[in-house]
Structure 1
Amino acid sequence: MRVAFLGPSGTYAEQATQQLLALEALTEAELMPQPGIRAVVQALAQGDCDAAVVPVENSVEGGVTTCLDALWEHPDLTIAHALVLPVRHALLGSGSLEGISEVLSHPQALAQCAQWLAEHLPRALQLPTSSTADAARMVAGSRFRAAVASQQAAAEHNLQVLAYPVNDVPGNCTRFLLLRRGSRSHAGALASLAYSLHSNQPGALLEALACFARRGLNMSRIESRPSKREMGEYIFFVDLELSAGPELLEAALNDLRPLCEHLALFGAYPITSRVSESSS
């Protein structure tokens, strides 16, 4: 069992991967760190691994657009399980807080700490990296650079914790998805799908959303992404709560399908929430 995740070692994605594998009783898995979220999805789509774990949504910054775009490009993939992981960022470095002039991290992590950084390091240049753990690796040994990453990353790269926590919202959390290839389940607590409509005309989106309302399906999330084909054309990503079983989902999809140019169901799946603080 080979599982791809956003690496290197020490990322929040690695901890989410380990927890999701435990929830699925997949204890003998080989972890395969990848340099980016798109690379994680590509590894699974191309058959280089058996499963993949990707972040799809943050409670502060919203949807992870790279993940959404990659899922749309590979509608053959299915979601097997979701995990909501609390995230507590730390500022890591080898020097003093007063001497920091550059802060490195993944763009999502920098955004989740924007207010703290503006207050405590207003003159520091913020530099994006491919992951929080990669930022920790890059600042190791520097007296003027710091990374927004996990406390676990500090131990792995021999860094000091200069401040903790540094995220702006105490309840900051990220939802991760365990992706597989193969058949999709219609039974689970949550279902995820994406669709594009035949035409951009008044009432088109309302008509599509009415397919869920008529069946009493509550949307826990709706998000749009540009189709990248022309201005004003969008793809809609929707999560539906399935408290009454798969029959209502199948009926809603039958109503929705004629309205769509493309419709991708990523499956129904369980979702697990961790309430304890994440240390990685």
Structure 2
Amino acid sequence: MPIRMAFLGPKGTYGERAAKEMIRLEQISDAELVPCTGLRSVVDHVADGRCEAAVVPVENSVEGGVTASLDALWSHPDLCIRRALVLPIRHALLSSGSIESVTEVLSHPQALAQCSGWLATHLPQALQLPTTSTAEAARMVKGSRFRAAIADRSVGELQGLEELAFPVNDVVGNRTRFLLLHRGERLRGGQLASLAFSLHRNAPGALIEALQAIAGLGLNMSRIESRPSKRELGEYVFFVDVELPTSGADVVLTKLQTLLSPLCEHLADFGAYPSSEFN
């Protein structure tokens, strides 16, 4: 049976490209890619067993954390991260018409934000319309003379669209980090480990205590991000990535959980994992 891997569809998204790279890195010989509508659906597919794995974006170098992925992870603390992959993101403006006729630009909200400066300069009057994915935007503009999509340039070839401009992202070094999610046993070795936690109390010094536990073990915290708990105003969930030592990572992670557990109302351990970068 092939390993079913969910990703944000349809075909042609950056998520599909990341999924194919994950398959190569994990040396999976037989895989079936399953396109999903919406990031929550991608995570749900692996959480409820419809797929054995899922690939989701978690962080962009320009726009920061991908909140839909973070919220979905917090809802499924039984999931684990098996690998991270950083992909360069180079957007193109695609259409069936000319750039002079474009009055609407469609794309995923993250992509629109990553190209906001270019759009303000070159298409200041165009209406920006969010879609579920960049590839879906390309599908929706096919055949339209006044609509354009921001997507990977390869999608233009797939949909038969003209490439009106490339690249249109504001930052040359635009990159997105994707995670490979699984159910089952967590890895205890790798370059990084990810945890998420909520605190027992919203009081001065409560977060510092948790951060001091990390610092006290000599761990470098490569990312921290907060999300509303969705229970009450001012209550947050914190997502943390820490860099692990080359040896003894399992022991360090066990110590860290022991130190954090008394301080946290909920503590989610997503495991340790390797991280790769694709150019």
Structure 2 residue corresponding to 1:172, chosen from 171, 174, 183: 174
Task: Specify the code of the residue in structure 2 equivalent to 1:197.
Answer: L
- The 1-side partners of 2:270 and 2:113 are apart by 28
What are the superposed Cα offsets for residues 156-200 of structure 1, whole Å, 9 maximum, x if unpaired? 100000000000000000000000000111211000010000000
- The 2-side partners of 1:78 and 1:65 are apart by 18
* SS of corresponding position for 2:139: helix
Q: Does 1:73 align with 2:70?
A: no
- Distance apart, 1:243 and its partner CA: 2.1
What are the superposed Cα offsets for residues 8-38 of structure 1, whole Å, 9 maximum, x if unpaired? 0000000000001100001310010000100
- The 2-side partners of 1:164 and 1:61 are apart by 20
* SS of corresponding position for 1:27: coil
* SS of corresponding position for 2:238: strand
- The 1-side partners of 2:51 and 2:230 are apart by 28
1:206 aligns to what?
Answer: 208
Task: Specify the code of the residue in structure 1 equivalent to 2:136.
Answer: D
1:58 aligns to what?
Answer: 60
2:91 aligns to what?
Answer: 89
2:190 aligns to what?
Answer: 188
1:250 aligns to what?
Answer: 254
Structure 2 residue corresponding to 1:259, chosen from 256, 263, 266: 263
Task: Specify the code of the residue in structure 1 equivalent to 2:133.
Answer: S
2:223 aligns to what?
Answer: 221
- The 2-side partners of 1:2 and 1:49 are apart by 5
* SS of corresponding position for 2:71: helix
- The 2-side partners of 1:102 and 1:198 are apart by 47
Structure 2 residue corresponding to 1:269, chosen from 249, 256, 273: 273
Q: TM-score, normalised by structure 1?
A: 0.97
Query: Gaps (5+ residues) in structure 1?
Result: none
- Distance apart, 1:96 and its partner CA: 0.6
- The 1-side partners of 2:229 and 2:20 are apart by 33
Task: Specify the code of the residue in structure 2 equivalent to 1:253.
Answer: Q
- The 1-side partners of 2:201 and 2:261 are apart by 14
* SS of corresponding position for 2:72: helix
Query: Gaps (5+ residues) in structure 2?
Result: none
* SS of corresponding position for 2:35: strand
- Aligned ranges for residues 31-180 of structure 1 at < 5 Å? 31-180=33-182
* SS of corresponding position for 1:224: strand
Alignment: residue pair count: 275
1:237 aligns to what?
Answer: 239
Structural RMSD (CA): 0.6
- The 2-side partners of 1:100 and 1:195 are apart by 45
- Distance apart, 1:253 and its partner CA: 1.3
- The 1-side partners of 2:171 and 2:85 are apart by 19
* SS of corresponding position for 2:40: helix
- The 2-side partners of 1:252 and 1:83 are apart by 25
